C-alpha cells in the first residue's frame, strides 16, 4: 500500500516503513504525528483512490525520529560595478519521519508494550551485576601505567630540541643598496 501526502508545500509518495525528511513539524523525537492531507491512496494491482483534491477519510501515521537542520547554503548577492556584495548563509529546519501505517480512519495505533523480564533471567542479571564492580577495581591500576608513559616522551622531546643547530643571520642589504647609488 502507498499514499501521496502533502506537507510543507511538497508532495511525498510513502509506504509503511519509509523514512522521509520533510519541512519542520512540531513534536519531539518519538512523538506520533498524523498527516491528514492525503492526495491519493493505492495498492499494487488495484486502482488508486484519488482525492479532489484531498481524501477526507485517509490519514498517514508517522513517528518523529529526529529534529535537525539541513546542509548550509550560501546566499551571495552582487551588483556589478557598484561595489555591492553581500554574503549570507542559511540552514533550513527539517523533521525526519518514519511512516508507521496508512489507514482510512485516521486513528493512531497504540505502540506495543515491552514484555516483562522472565523469571529465568533474574539469576543471570544478578551475576552480571556482581562482575561490574570487579571491573571498576582494575581500572585505577591502568591509569597509573598511563601516567608514567608521557613522562618518557617529554624527556625525549627536550633532547631533540637541544641538538638543533642555530641559524646564521642574513646579510644586510642596506650596505649593497648604498654602493649602487654612489
Q: Scan for cell 480512519, then name that residue.
A: 105
Q: Which of 54-58, 79-83, 132-136 is most confident?
A: 79-83
Higher pLDDT, 162 or 91: 91
Mean pLDDT of 31-52: 91
Sign of CA dihedral 24, 100, 3, 40: negative
pLDDT band with cut points at 50, 70 and 90 for residue 146: very low
pLDDT band with cut points at 50, 70 and 90 for residue 83: very high
Q: What is the pLDDT of residue 57?
A: 87
Higher pLDDT, 56 or 176: 56
Q: What is the pLDDT of residue 68?
A: 96
Mean pLDDT of 88-109: 83
Closest alpha carbon to 15 in 109, 101, 112: 101
- SS3 of residue 67 by DSSP: strand
Q: What percent of the chain has pLDDT over 90?
A: 49
Pairing state of beta strands 93-103 and 32-35?
Answer: unpaired
- Position 25 pLDDT exceeds 90: yes
- Distance between CA 34 and CA 40 in Å, rounded? 16
**All cell numbers assigned to 25:** 513539524
Closest alpha carbon to 28 in 91, 92, 97, 101: 97
Length of the chain: 182
Mean pLDDT of 77-102: 97
CB neighbour list of residue 13: distance below 8 Å, 6 or more residues apart: 2, 3, 4
Q: Model-level pTM?
A: 0.53
Mean pLDDT of 83-103: 96
- Distance between CA 149 and CA 156 in Å, rounded? 12
Count of C-beta atoms within a 10 Å radius of residue 135: 8
- Position 148 pLDDT exceeds 90: no
- Position 14 pLDDT exceeds 80: yes
Amino acid at each position: 500500500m502507498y499514499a501521496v501526502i502533502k506537507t510543507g508545500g511538497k508532495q511525498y509518495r510513502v509506504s509503511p516503513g519509509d523514512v522521509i525528511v520533510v519541512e519542520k513539524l512540531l513534536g519531539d523525537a518519538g512523538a506520533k504525528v498524523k498527516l491528514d492531507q492525503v492526495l491519493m491512496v493505492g495498492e499494487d494491482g488495484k486502482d488508486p483512490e484519488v482525492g479532489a483534491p484531498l481524501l477526507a477519510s485517509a490519514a498517514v501515521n508517522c513517528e518523529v525520529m529526529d529534529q535537525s537542520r539541513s546542509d548550509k547554503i550560501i546566499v551571495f548577492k552582487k551588483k556589478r560595478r557598484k561595489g555591492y556584495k553581500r554574503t549570507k548563509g542559511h540552514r533550513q529546519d527539517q523533521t525526519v519521519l518514519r511512516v508507521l501505517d496508512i489507514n482510512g480512519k485516521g486513528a493512531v495505533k497504540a505502540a506495543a508494550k515491552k514484555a516483562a523480564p522472565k523469571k529465568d533471567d533474574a539469576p543471570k542479571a544478578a551475576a552480571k551485576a556482581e562482575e561490574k564492580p570487579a571491573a571498576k577495581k582494575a581500572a585505577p591500576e591502568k591509569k597509573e601505567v598511563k601516567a608514567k608513559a608521557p613522562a618518557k616522551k617529554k624527556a625525549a622531546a627536550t633532547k631533540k630540541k637541544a641538538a638543533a643547530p642555530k641559524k646564521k643571520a642574513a646579510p644586510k642589504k642596506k650596505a649593497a643598496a648604498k654602493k649602487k647609488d654612489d
